Structures are given as structure tokens and as C-alpha cells.
Chains A and B, each alone.
Chain A
Amino acid sequence: MAYKKPVLVLVGALLLVAVGWWGWNRFRPYAFHGTVLQSTEPAPDFTLMSADGPVSLRDFRGKVVMLYFGYTFCPDVCPTTLFEVQRAMELLGDDADQVQFIMVSVDPARDTPERLKEYVQYFDPRFIGVTGSEDEIAEVATQYGIYYQKHEGTVATGYLVDHTASITVVDKKGYVKLIFPYGTPAEDMAADLKYLISH
């Protein structure tokens, strides 16, 4: 019987490591890729116009909302970002239905609701594009920490609009939860969104 004891101790030790590893993975706080906020106040609500009628943030309570400020004449940053979000949606598979991507125009003079719809739906038919008056856009952008400003472009592009290029993520309860800086890979966004969908 004497030979059995070391074996059992070894098995026990391995079991302990396995349980520890499982417990660590199961209970450790999830490490988000995006920058996390712990807002105590709900995200500022807004109502803006899409091609299919008015859209408010509160319409999407129960879904995870990605807010992005851009414009359809945007030469590089916006298409790159929308392409990454599209890939993230693909990675999410069926869970993507729990996510609503909304692009708010920072160029209301040129972006009509119809033009926005056509633009965002080129990437994903579930995406929504909204716009409003100059004052309405200024208010929403200010509250979401978005800077934007017109500047000279070329003859072909007309004027351009510099703007903050991050994505703001609002959780299912309507609180700002994450910021994805420009250039966040689709895989990282998908992982964070998946966590927010299931928690």
C-alpha cells in the first residue's frame, strides 16, 4: 500500500491545479480590450432622423449599441472603421442581432438620411445612419466627447470633416460602457461585445 500514497498525492495536486485553473478562468473579472467606463448616469438620450423615421437611443434598451460619429464623404477613417465593425458582426454570428450599430453624421449639410442609409447598409443591412440639424448634431457630439470640424478638402472631395474616430459602446441597460479607439481590431470588438451581450 505504501506505493499508492505518492500517486494519490500527485493526482490530488494535479486535480487542485485543474480546479484552480478552471476557477480562475471562470471567475476572474473579464479583461475588456476597449477602455472601460463605470458610468453612474445613463448615456445621454437623443432622437435623430434615419431614412426610416426617427431613431432614439432608448429604442435599443436591451441591445448593445455601438455609436459612431462619421460622414459619408469620409475618405478613409470611416470606411476602415465600418469595415472592422462589419467583420466584428460576422464574428459574432447570431449574437450580432443583439448589437445595434448607429452612425451619427457629423456632416448634416450633405448627409441626407437616404444617403446615410445607402452608405451604412453597403457594409451591413442592420446598420442605421442618422442625422439632424446642425444644433442637434452639435449637442449629441458634445455630450459623447466627439470633436468635429470642417476643413478644406480637394476639388474632388469638397470640404472634409475632422472628427473623433472612436466608437462608443452603450450596454443593454443604457449606460456608456466602453470606448473602442480607432483601429481596434474586429476580433477585440467581437470579444467585448460578446461579453456585454451575455452579461
Chain B
Amino acid sequence: MKAYRWVVRGVYGFFGTVFVAVVAFKVFQPVQVLPRVRLGPGFILVDQNGQQLTNEDLRGKVVLYAFLYTRCPGDCYGIVPTLQRAQAEGPAIMGDIPFRIVAISLDPAHDTPEVLRAYARQVGADPAVWTFATHPDPKRLKLIVGAGFGEYYEPQPDGSVRFDPRYILIDGWGIVRGEYKYETLASTEERILRHLGVLAEEIRNSQGSAKLAYEAAHFFLCYAP
């Protein structure tokens, strides 16, 4: 009978250990991930060289999207400096995982490929990393940026564009993994760079048995702050 009691204890012990392990995983979050928020949009844009740029061209690459226009007055919410920093530090963080920045202009009437090309040079955009693009048809652009990326913008009669400054991080499967709003601008840059690191870790390590740990992190919503 003594042995029987040991068996019962063993069963309790087993489930107890599993329970504690699950709680510990949730509380201490040894593995953190970025949520798989929703599908990124399908699109055809035109880049600063007049070449077509589609979401399929960017498949397999981690892409940071931003929205702007070249006539945006003042520091324009600090978008360009943020992208400059992402360009400087992003590729090193991502290592061998392809990383791109796509800045989409909300002012296609003014921001022709020539204007975007000149602007890209002016802000020091490396064409291998950082692309400027837009769509010449304002209606199509609204569909891609508004309905697709969920970005609000409204061209004004004076030629300016009212918009919500936002950054969107999309992974190689075309899934939105992060959205960064202006309200948190003080820490936006840091957050984006930190999240690039989290995403790179997951892409690099999510194989074999480690994949299970990453899937568990998704399951238990262990999201990086």
C-alpha cells in the first residue's frame, strides 16, 4: 500500500510540476515574442527610381514602414531621424535576416520619383536598405495606406497632409508584428530597435524544440513591452 501511495504522490507531483512550470513561464517570460497582429496589405507602389515595389518583393524580409511626405514642415514628428537610426542600427541587429525600410509618401502629386530620389539622397538613405515609394493614383494610394495599413491621412487644401505618424513592422510572412504611434514618440525609436532584436531572435531560434518555446510564448501572450 505504501508503494501505491508513492504512485499517487508521483502523479500529483507530475501535474504540480507541469502547473508550476506553466505559471513560471507566464510570470517570468523566459521567451518573449512580438504578437502576430494581422495581415499586412497587398500592394503595388512605385519607388524613387520609378520601379514597381510590391509586398511580394518584400516577402522574406523584415520591413519597417513609415508614412511621410517631403514637404512636411519642421521636424515632421521626427520621422526621418527615427528612420536614420533604424537604418544605422537595424541591419546589425537583424544580422543575416534581410531588413528594409519603406517610407511611403502621402503626397504623390508632389512626391514624384525624382523628388523622392533627391529627398532620399538628402536624408542619407542607403538604397540597399531604405526605399521611398508612393502610388501616383491618389485613390489607389488611399486604398493601400488607408484600408491596407490602417493609416489615417487627409490631404489639405494648402498642399500639406494631415496624418497620424506611425511606424509598422511587418515580418517576412507579411504579418504585422508591431505598430508604433506618435504618442509614445519619446520611446518609439528604442522600442522599434528593441522589437527588431526580439523578432530577429525568434526568426533565428524558432526551430526544432526551441520552436515549441516560441509557440508557447505566443500562446501565453508573452509579448515584449
Interface of A toward B, CB cutoff 8 Å: 4-5, 8-9, 11-13, 15-16, 19-20, 23, 29, 31, 35-41, 44, 138-139, 141-149, 162, 164, 168, 176, 179
Contacts and interface: CB of A to CB of B under 8 A. Distances in A.
Contacts of B174: 145, 179
Contacts, number: 98
Interface string B138-152: 001001100110000
Interface string B151-174: 000000000000000000000011
Given A29-B215, A36-B36, A164-B56, A144 B173 contact: no
B42 A141 contact: yes
Interface string B183-224: 000000000000000000000000000001001101101000
B37 A39 contact: yes
B219 A176 contact: no
Contacts of A148: 42
B161 to A, nearest CB: 20
Contacts of B219: 29
B43 A147 contact: yes
Nearest to A175: B38
Given A12-B7, A38-B218, A147 B55 contact: yes
B14 interface: yes
B35 interface: yes
A144 B39 contact: yes
B42 A145 contact: yes
A145 B40 contact: yes
A37 B36 contact: yes
A143 B10 contact: no
Contacts of A31: 212, 215
B18 interface: yes
6 contacts: A8-B7, A9-B6, A12-B4, A41-B38, A143-B41, A145-B42
A94 to B, nearest CB: 29
A99 B162 CA distance: 43
A29 B42 contact: no
A147 B143 contact: no
9 closest A-B pairs by beta carbon, nearest first, are A8-B3, A12-B7, A145-B39, A146-B42, A147-B42, A142-B148, A37-B36, A147-B56, A29-B219
Contact of B175 (A13, A37, A40): A37
B147 A139 contact: yes
Interface residues of B, number: 37
A110 B37 CA distance: 35
Main DSSP-derived SS at the A contact region: mixed
B10 A16 contact: yes
Given A38-B218, A139-B143, A143-B148, A5 B3 contact: yes
Given A35-B175, A138-B143, A149-B44, A29 B37 contact: no
Given A38-B218, A142-B144, A143-B148, A16 B39 contact: no
B54 interface: yes
A9 B15 CA distance: 19
Of B35, B37, B175, the most chain A CB neighbours within 10 A belong to B175
A179 B173 contact: yes
A113 B218 CA distance: 40
Contact of A12 (B3, B54, B216): B3
A10 to B, nearest CB: 10
Contact of A16 (B14, B42, B218): B14
B115 interface: no
Contacts of B118: none
Of B6, B39, B41, B216, the most chain A CB neighbours within 10 A belong to B39
Nearest to B56: A147
A144 B219 CA distance: 23
A19 B14 contact: yes
A143 B55 contact: no
